[in-house]
Structure 1
């Protein structure tokens, strides 16, 4: 039934999703050129509000749970599992007061309305996965911007999307590099549920009637813990929320 509704509703979703991207592309440019970073960020926040709630056209529900009073006066590294591209708009919207940035493939900085311009102007790290030296350098620069501006970063330690929803082992390199540049950052795990189901059949049809959920978990103070220990703790807590086997 979810697939059947997907055939009917996917075109509607894509029309509105694409329309939002096209409308906000010039808006972002104008905000940045005429009013600067803060205006640009506001336009990006509003863009991602609409992108997030475009899911309603697929009859998908959206739940974001955060029981923690996270600080806004220190950088945060949000470590999340990754299931689909639809994970990202909600993270930007619901974490907007933390100015969350992303580590993205450099290929995405061209050719995609709204998304590419945001990646170029928004202050995140755009990395070349084939050039390890460049990637590390960009992540370190991002860490410095986090430290200077009290920005936060969302990182997907799996390194790729889990297309079946099963969490892949987390890699600690990204968190280690960021903590080296901004050692006072708080690490906060985020568990993402069911967004993989949207694209279980690929780009068409998207599936309908999914309960999409983002859950902010207990913050981890780096302290004397190693990046490896921090990363494993984040992965373990996410697995518990998703009801998946905890790796020892």
Structure 2
């Protein structure tokens, strides 16, 4: 019976999700063309609000906790474990105050309504995971951007999603590139739980109804005097403590 309910509620949510992507793609294009980047980003925040709270259609519970106050007068580098495609909308919405910009694989920059357009317009680092030089170059551009504009970057140092929920070792290369041109940035870990259980399949169907999803923003790590490997280890240990 539960499996049948998963299929029914997943169908409802995915129709809703698909419509959001199409409708907000059009709104983004209009906003950017007429009013510029800031207006387009407000549309993106609204889209991610709708995606995140749309999970209630599946009976899912959403928990967001920010354990410590974060500064608004310096850039931030958010470092998170990665479990699902659905990790991202809640980060966009709940941390919108810090204007998060993502490190993303370049394949997502084309072909997905709303998401691809936003990646191309938001200064995201669109990396080729097979080309280390290109990837570092993209991340360095993002690093300089957050330093100059006092906003934030988001990176998933595992490199790919862990559907088992068990973290893979954090790779320090992307972190090193981010801190290189953003020396004022505070490093802030985010622990994500339950998303792999909500979306256990390689596709998005069926989702597991009545799941519990959580994002926990942890205490910042000052990078001064630490290299990228040390930062990666500290961030992973802090996240692992929450994951248990």
Deviation string, structure 1 residues 21-69 (Cα, Å, up to 9, x no partner): 1110011111111111111110000010001111111111111100311
Give 1:212-223 correspondences, 5 Å limit: 212-223=213-224
Give 1:1-150 correspondences, 5 Å limit: 2-150=2-150
Separation in structure 2 between the aligned mates of residue 3 and residue 88 of structure 1, nearest angstrom = 26
SS at match of 1:25: helix
Matched, 1:211 2:212: yes
Cα offset for 1:2?
4.8
TM-score w.r.t. the length of structure 2 is 0.97
> Would you identify which runs of 4 or more consecutive aligned residues in structure 1 move more than 6 Å?
none
Separation in structure 1 between the aligned mates of residue 172 and residue 146 of structure 2, nearest angstrom = 19
Q: Which runs of 5+ in 2 are unaligned?
A: none
SS at match of 1:108: helix
Cα offset for 1:201?
3.9
Residue 241 of structure 1 corresponds to: 242
TM-score w.r.t. the length of structure 1 is 0.95
Q: Judging changes above 3 Å, is the alpha-carbon distance between structure 1 residues 229 and 10 closer, same or farther for their aligned structure 2 residues?
A: same
Cα offset for 1:11?
0.6
Separation in structure 2 between the aligned mates of residue 238 and residue 41 of structure 1, nearest angstrom = 29
Separation in structure 2 between the aligned mates of residue 229 and residue 131 of structure 1, nearest angstrom = 24
Cα offset for 1:5?
2.0
SS at match of 1:82: coil
Residue 154 of structure 1 corresponds to: 154
Q: Which runs of 5+ in 1 are unaligned?
A: 244-248
Alignment RMSD, CA only?
A: 1.1
Residue 246 of structure 1 corresponds to: none
Separation in structure 1 between the aligned mates of residue 69 and residue 240 of structure 2, nearest angstrom = 22
Separation in structure 2 between the aligned mates of residue 34 and residue 68 of structure 1, nearest angstrom = 38
